[in-house]
Every structure is written in C-alpha cells, then in structure tokens.
A and B are shown apart, each in its own frame.
Chain A
Amino acid sequence: MGRRVALVALFVLVASVSFAQEVVELRFYIVPKTGDGLTPATAFRPKYFEGISTSNRDYGLENTFLVGADVTPAQHTLIASNLDVIAIPQNINAPIGLTALQTVKDKLEALHVPAHWVTTEHTYRQVIAAVGRLFLFMGRFHARQARTFFESGVTLDLRLNQLTQTQREALEDAAISLGLDLSRITQTTTIRQAFKALLDQMPSFSLHGESF
C-alpha cells in the first residue's frame, strides 16, 4: 500500500512538473526588426523570438513589429528585459491608468505611432487594436509605394501641406486602395491626425488568435 501511495505521489509530482514546464501565456509585444531578408531563415522578423511561435505585424519598412506569442513566464521575462522591447501587460483589458499613460504615449510616438488620442480610460486592447490597424495600413503603403513613409524630415507633427505632392499622393493612393474615406482629412491635417482617421476605418483583425 505504501509503495502504491509513493508511486501515485511520484506520478503527480512528475505530472505537475511537466505541466508547469509547458504553461504558456499569450502575450503581446512591440519590438524591433532583426534579419536581412535575404533567406527564409533570415527574413525580417521580430527580434528576440527565435524558436517561438509568433504572429507578426510589421509597420511597413519601419523598424518595428507588433507581435503576439505564446511564451512561458521565463521566456517573457527574458524578452521583456530588453530595453528596446515594449511588453504589453498580460491583462490587455485593463485601463492604462495615470501612472503608465505618459510612458505608453512616449514609447509609441518614438516609433512614429500617433498616441495623442490615448487617455487613462483606454485599455491596452484598444491601443493594440490601433497599432495593429495602423501597421496593416502601412503594409499596404509599402506594397503600393515600395518605400518608407517616414522619409527624412517627415514626422507625425507635419501637416499634409508640408509634405511633397509625391508624398501626399502616395498616402492617398494607399488609403484609396483600401477603400478608406478621406473626407475628414485636409491639407492642414497633421500626419498624426490623418493616421488616426485612417486607422479608425481599418477593419478588425486577429493577432495570434486574439481579435482586435
């Protein structure tokens, strides 16, 4: 009897350890690109996720990915420890709150992602949705124009009439190709305002199985 109890206890222990090793959680990150695009093994991809199953949204030719990944707590700790990683809290339905608000805005704006609209009342889910939709738009811009939008001197604070005609036409071309309404955008609209108006019209999307 004692031997049987010991065997059962051993089985439970082994099963617990095995289960603990396999626990993964869906997390979202904004990270830089790595790779050179020259081979499948070195295609442009999110930095720090080698060997991990990921779903990625690139910001066109900008050096940024939005990533969804199933990671273990240890993997998350390792990834999040890098200074160039924005690790989004696991509870994406939580409001951003006052403490994190300015950090969130500063980090997004540093990546050419407009964040003027973000308040303490917005949730991280809403921020991910906005970032992902803008990235999808910029993917189409890249495909249509084969170049980056943020050429030298272009910032979110510029007004559209401060862009060259070629730059304005490129933005318009990408928007029209996606069927987006441009009626709220004028020559004096800033790029950050224009991007927000465009991303608000982009459709919902899924990232690693989560709908946004």
Chain B
Amino acid sequence: MALPASEPFTGTGALSASWTNLQVSCSRDTDRGKGDSTTTYCSAYWSADAFNNDQKSQATAITNGGAGTHYAAVGVRMSSGPNWYAQFWDGGDNDLLKNVAGTVTQIAGNIITTVAANDVIRLEVEGTSLRVYLNNVQQGVTQTDSSLASGSAGIAFFDNGSRIDDWEGDNLGGAPADPEGRLVYGKLVGRGLLGGVLT
C-alpha cells in the first residue's frame, strides 16, 4: 500500500490487517471507529505503510460517550511501548497527551475549547513541534516535545463510548527525517565517533 492511508471503518468487527493494536484493541462499530475497553486506553496504528518521522493523523468526531469518561483521539509517532502523542477529545476536555512507555502525561491542557459532531481533528508532528488543528484551523500554540522520535500515525480511545470516522494518516511534506530520529540542528554526531565517551 502507499501513503496517504485512509480508513472509513466500514462494517463492524476488528480493524483490518493494515492496523496493529497497542494496549487494548480498537475496532469498527457500524461504520465507525471505537475503542474496545471500558476501563483503559485503546490504541492502534496504521502498520501497512512506514511513516516518516514527520507525520499527521486526522479523523472526524462523531459522538462522545460522556464528558470526562469517554474519549477519542488521533495519534502520531505511535509504537510499541506503548508510545504515542495523541490529541484527545471528549467534547469539553480536549488535551494533547503523550504516552511514554505507558506513562501518560499532558503536554497541553484544553488546547481545543470544544469539539462537536463532524468536527475534523488533526495532529501533526514535525521535528519536536506538535500542532493541533480543528477543521483546518490551528488550535492554541505550537507545542514542543522531544520524547518520541519515530512511529506511525493512528487512533486512540479511552473507554468505548466515543466514535470516529474517516481516519487519514500521511507523512508531512519534505525530505524523509533522520532514521535515528535525531534532531536536525547544530552538529550531528554518531555513535561511531563518540560512543564510549561515558562508558
């Protein structure tokens, strides 16, 4: 397959083989995407294609199962660990979170004021910059984080009450990023030159 990736969630049941679940699985429910747990995070990334480090993930909000209890999200740099950056929404509590090896931390609080049905939410990561868009309008300010260097675009949920549709994932424009995920600034060095200095 080739990017951009898209998922209409047609039908009901497990996600297609193009997806790899992290934590608890995600699935399809009558042409919508959803999480499968009632108590924890569910997440999955598109594994049919390899993503550059600079990438984006977007989906349409359909329903929110309940403020403060049911969330949907679009994620980037998702990988086993579990690791991800994800923009969550439940309608009113819409935070940008990161999951680093299972520790979930807030990068930005209330970055989107409200999310309504049919709003399109997109999360982009470029280098160490994270940008959130609602209906193609950037929300809040650009955030910075350097924890996660690589991974794939995908989706996430908390609890199973929220539904999304029409997910899309793609690389951002430009040249492929450094395969080691190193920051592109100043002097780039390799383990072969400096490895062992501290050891």
Contact = CB atoms under 8 A, between A and B. Distances in A.
Interface in B158-183: 158, 178, 180-183
Interface in B132-156: 140-149
Which 4 residue pairs are nearest across A and B when measured between Cβ atoms?
A179-B182, A146-B101, A139-B147, A45-B106
Nearest to A187: B198
23 contacts: A39-B158, A43-B105, A53-B109, A53-B110, A53-B140, A56-B109, A57-B144, A58-B105, A132-B144, A139-B145, A169-B199, A172-B197, A176-B195, A177-B180, A178-B182, A179-B188, A182-B189, A182-B197, A203-B185, A205-B144, A206-B141, A206-B142, A206-B143
Interface of B, helix, strand, loop or mixed by DSSP: loop
Contacts of B140: 53, 55
Interface string A32-43: 000101111101
Given A37-B103, A53-B140, A176-B194, A201 B186 contact: yes
Residue of A146, A179, A202, A205 with most partner-chain B CB within 10 A: A179
B120 to A, nearest CB: 20
A34 B188 CA distance: 36
B5 interface: no
Interface string A3-38: 000000000000000000000000000000001011
Interface stretch (B8-16, B24-32, B48-56, B89-97): B89-97
A38 B40 CA distance: 7
B4 interface: no
Given A40-B90, A177-B180, A179-B182, A55 B147 contact: no
B105 A45 contact: yes
Given A40-B97, A44-B104, A179-B184, 10 more contacts: A40-B90, A45-B109, A142-B100, A176-B195, A179-B185, A181-B194, A186-B197, A202-B146, A203-B186, A206-B143
A168 B199 CA distance: 6
Contact of B111 (A38, A49, A53, A209): A53
B148 A56 contact: no
Interface residues of B, number: 54
Nearest to A139: B147
Contacts of A142: 100-101, 103, 147
A168 B195 CA distance: 11
